[in-house]
Chain A
Amino acid sequence: MRLINLRPTRAGAVWLAVLPFAALVAAYVIASQIRLAENPSDKLLPSLATMGQSMWDLAFTPDRRSGDLLFFADTLASLERLFAGLGISAAIALVVGCLAGFFPYARALFAPFVAAFSLIPPITILPILFITLGLGEAAKIGLIVIGTTPAMIRTLAQAVLAIPEEEIVKAQTLGASSWQIIARIFLPQVWPVLIAALRIGLIPAWIFLISAEAIAATEGLGYRIFLVRRYLAMDVILPYVAWITLLAYVTDRCLSFASRRLFPWAHLKGASL
């Protein structure tokens, strides 16, 4: 049989999915042991036990200065910024994207500006945000908003434009007003696209979050990583990176699951990741 026609069984697919992860962990453990055998105080590839101990201390031993459980405080601070930023982005994108999709006048007004604005490298705006908004939460959330909104606007406007003309004409022949067409035809078909846009926006949102935290913050996952970097504390950095990855993955899965549950009609065609 041709290779393109061979499909793994369910169990086989699980094994195949686990394989790269297992290989990565195994490679790390072996390399770590080799280095530690030569120099027990090596910091570059700490053992899993060391990492576990460091994370335990961060998670369950109150910080001597602040009394916080740093791991949870960091996670909470980062997630608050991330979701605040993404929430604002989604709201702006929904309004502007839909306006640009619905109304030709709004499209003429917004499209060129959004296209130009989206090409500004967001990080270059960060100093401006720090200067104007101060070093607090607003600047960090602002960076996420600026970094993710333009792409989301374009995705949503595109989705509205992609709704076939036939549907709009049909709705009119059923007597629907402009508002009814928006409420019953456009918006319901935009929601799943908004979720898809959020999932895609998640990656740049994390990048901008970590960048902003690395430069000016007093807590947060990105802040911690860049703080302990000075001490080559790989035993904290590596678990934190894994934790951030896990958070991003779970968020993405939750959004995907929500989309399938709430908008099953949007997932009827083709395979999707």
Chain B
Amino acid sequence: MSFVAVSNIAKRYGDAPILERLSLDVEKGEFVTIVGASGCGKSTFLRLLLGQERADRGTIAIEGAPIAPEPGPDRGVVFQKYSVFPHLTVIDNLVLPAEIEASPFFGRLFGGRRRKAREEAEALMEKIGLSHAARRYPAQLSGGMQQRLAIAQALLRKPRILLLDEPFGALDPGTRQDMHVLIEDIWRETAMTIFMVTHDIKEAFKLGTRLLVFDKIRHDPQFPAAYGATVTYDLPLHRKAANAAGEGTGPSPHETADLEATLSMPASPRRERAAPAIGQ
């Protein structure tokens, strides 16, 4: 039995099908990267895994048990924006998970327990390089620092699965490299199962052990919204063994170019022109 089992799920918003006939088995410890054109349901898939929304059909199970119908501490998440709490300083953001866990009524800790939680948060800040910014609010941090904080916060309840929804999409290239190192280290240390949605195909190849491409299989040229998307490519990436050397594990150039051509098209109008018969 696989760790995460997605079987034949479908999701529609109103009349528009977003995902259809999507099945997937993911083993524990895999780093799954998900790419696809805008509006192809990548983020919807993540929301289904998160429990923020429910599939119209099909089931999602973790270790054989259907996922809870609402978000919970077994599945952590980092969004592109708004992942940390703007009214809390860096250290308070990091103390919050412990407070939520230990104090069901007030959601606050006092005295010795508070001191202990703060000490743990300080150690964590040291680790992610935010010690100097402990008393700053998220709005006073750079984008990279905010995302580092968001990732650290998401890990505090020790989730079994980490969901990343374009977490580095708003960062500049240099910062993005640093974040790649950070997330790889975390993945290696915790052996967590990670799902990451990204627009950056190189990032998807670099970080993932498995790359999923979401796209529509069926097309109706008269009514492009008639069908939903599913997994069209499922590539295992055997790069981790070679990764000690650093580079040398990415996609071959033509592979990247090929996929980028697919991805640069919003919901594949290219193929509608090429093969109008499909889906009619």
Contacts and interface: CB of A to CB of B under 8 A. Distances in A.
B87 interface: yes
Contact count band on B = 35 or more
Contact of B137 (A179, A184, A265): A265
A266 interface: yes
A27 B258 CA distance: 77
B96 to A, nearest CB: 7
B84 to A, nearest CB: 8
Contact of A176 (B83, B86, B107, B153): B107
A185 B50 contact: no
Contacts of B105: 179
Contact of B79 (A170, A171, A185, A266): A170
A174 B97 contact: yes
A175 interface: yes
B157 A265 contact: no
A114 B75 CA distance: 39
Interface stretch (B54-62, B66-74, B260-268): B66-74
A60 interface: no
A175 B72 contact: yes
Interface in A103-158: none
Contact of B154 (A170, A189, A264, A266): A170
Interface in A212-240: none
Contact of B100 (A166, A184, A264, A265): A184
A203 interface: no
A183 interface: yes
B73 A164 contact: no
A183 B106 contact: yes
Interface in A248-273: 263-266, 268-269
Interface of A: 164, 166-167, 169-177, 179-180, 183-185, 188-189, 263-266, 268-269
Nearest to A172: B71
B150 to A, nearest CB: 8
Contacts of A188: 87-88
Contacts of A179: 104-105, 107
Main secondary structure of the interface of B (DSSP, over half): loop
B82 interface: yes
29 contacts: A166-B82, A166-B83, A167-B85, A169-B71, A169-B77, A170-B82, A170-B83, A170-B85, A170-B153, A170-B154, A171-B85, A172-B71, A172-B72, A173-B71, A173-B72, A173-B73, A173-B75, A174-B100, A174-B157, A175-B72, A176-B100, A183-B106, A183-B107, A184-B108, A185-B85, A188-B88, A264-B137, A265-B87, A268-B137
Ordered nearest first, which 9 A-B pairs have the shortest CB separation? A172-B71, A166-B82, A175-B73, A164-B82, A180-B107, A265-B137, A268-B139, A184-B107, A166-B79
B81 to A, nearest CB: 7
B125 to A, nearest CB: 17
Interface string B9-48: 0000000000000000000000000000000000000000
Contacts of A264: 137
A268 B77 contact: no
A207 B137 CA distance: 38
A185 B140 CA distance: 19
Contacts of B96: 174, 184
A265 B139 contact: yes
A263 B100 contact: no
Nearest to A166: B82
B2 interface: no
A264 B104 CA distance: 27
A82 to B, nearest CB: 29
Contacts of B140: 268
